[in-house]
Amino acid sequence: MRNQGRKRKPAPADHKCSPAKLTRKDTVINLTTNDPFPNHHSPTAEECRAVRDDLLAFHGFPQQFAKYRQQRLNLVSVTSSCHEESVLDGLVSTILSQNTTDANSQKAFALLKSDFPNWEDVLAADSKSIENAIRCGGLAPTKASCIKNMLSCLLEKRGKLCLEYLRDLSIDEIKTELSQFKGIGPKTVACVLMFNIQQDDFPVDTHVFQIAKAIGWVPTEADTKRTYLHLNRRIPNELKFDLNCLLFTHGKACRACIKKEDNHQKKENGSCPLLNYLKKT
């Protein structure tokens, strides 16, 4: 007889919003302050500054991130009329940006807002209608489900569809709050922190991850989660925003620095500003 006498725990009333369901090890950001690579001493503050300066000289500051940079420089008040994007807008926009181009994700967000003027309308809509609005951004069923579930859980927890309360929390508290929503992973949370709440965080997308490995800022065996933890420990807060935007932009524009070929050959043939930082093969 197997498991006789063992009783299964009853499922919570709303399994979608259950903390036990949404705080799995593969979903929640590791909030530990320990560096996963304590013996890996790159990047230093000097290395971060040098890469930032070289990329800035090469690309200029990316125009697509200029408004967020201005908000940080001006320390825009959350009550100011010039604050353009709510935290909830930023979160949904980031969800829509996954696995697609910037142009397609921006179009999907604009169509969603056009079809549903406020988030209450999105929550009340059927999933197929949401999918149709965001279809140009790809993965419409998955993204529609994520958005609708997040809005439902937010309303249940807070009584209204608003995330502005996050601005008054610490970074770790914000990570805990956002990570409770199914489908909201570390990169999405970090993007919301950096762009919409003006906190010092360093998202690691594919471009940042590949360049970080190529220039030796993380060990060869690093994955994206440990790269996120390591770089957030090593990169000075005052450099995180500019450096992240520039690495992202450079990763999209230049493939020379991460091609899997002999690094000496790349330095001989390329004009990429990061070629001098490549680790030795």
Same domain, yes or no: 265 and 222: yes
* Other beta carbons less than 10 A from residue 15's beta carbon: 11
Query: pLDDT digit of tens for each residue in the chain (281 aa)?
Result: 444 444 434 333 344 564 433 333 333 444 445 899 999 999 999 999 999 999 999 999 999 999 999 999 886 444 443 446 899 999 999 999 999 999 999 999 999 999 999 999 999 999 999 999 999 999 999 999 999 999 999 999 999 999 999 999 999 999 999 999 999 999 999 999 999 999 999 999 999 999 999 999 999 999 999 999 999 999 999 999 999 999 999 999 987 776 655 555 444 455 899 998 987 54
Indicate whether 90 and 163 sit together in one domain.
yes
Where do we find the tokens 């450079």? 250
Question: Which uninterrupted H or E stretch holds 98?
Answer: none
From 196, 228, 253, the end of a domain falls on 196
Residue 21 lies in a domain: no
Domain membership flag for residue 39: no
Q: How far is CA 125 from CA 63, 144, 151, 189, in A?
A: 34, 10, 12, 25
Question: Cβ(186)–Cβ(29) under 8 Å?
Answer: yes
Determine, yes or no, domain membership for 12: no
Considering the domain boundaries, does residue 166 fall inside one?
yes
Residue at 102 is within a domain: yes
Q: Is residue 88 located within the same domain as residue 186?
A: yes
* Whole-prediction pTM: 0.83
In a domain, 71, yes or no: no
Count of domains forming the chain: 2
CATH code, 259: 1.10.1670.10
User: Is there a contact between 65 and 245 (Cβ–Cβ < 8 Å)?
Assistant: yes
CA of 137: how far to CAs of 115, 131, 174, in Å?
Answer: 15, 10, 27
Q: Which of 196, 224, 254 is the last residue of a domain?
A: 196
CA distance 85 to 74: 15
Which residues, 6+ apart, have CB-to-CB distance to 154 below 8 Å?
88, 161, 162, 163, 181
Question: What pLDDT shows up at residue 222?
Answer: 97
- 209: nearest Cα among 195, 220, 199, 196: 220
Same structural domain, 112 and 186: yes
Classified as helix, coil or strand, 202 is coil
How big, in percent rounded to 5, are the helix, strand and coil portions of the chain?
60, 0, 40
**Catalytic residue of the set 182, 187, 240, 266:** 187
Q: CB burial class (10 A; 0-12, 13-18, 19+) of residue 154?
A: buried
Whole-angstrom distance, CA of residue 239 vs CA of residue 110:
31
Looking at residue 130, which CATH number applies to its domain?
1.10.340.30
16 noted as active-site residue? no
Cβ contact 195:203 at 8 Å = no
pLDDT at res. 268: 47
Cβ contact 256:215 at 8 Å? no
**Tokens at 55, concatenated:** 């990329």
Same-domain check for residues 147 and 248: no
Question: What is the span of the domain harbouring residue 88?
Answer: 84-196
Looking at the fold, whether 192 and 215 belong to one and the same domain comes out as: no
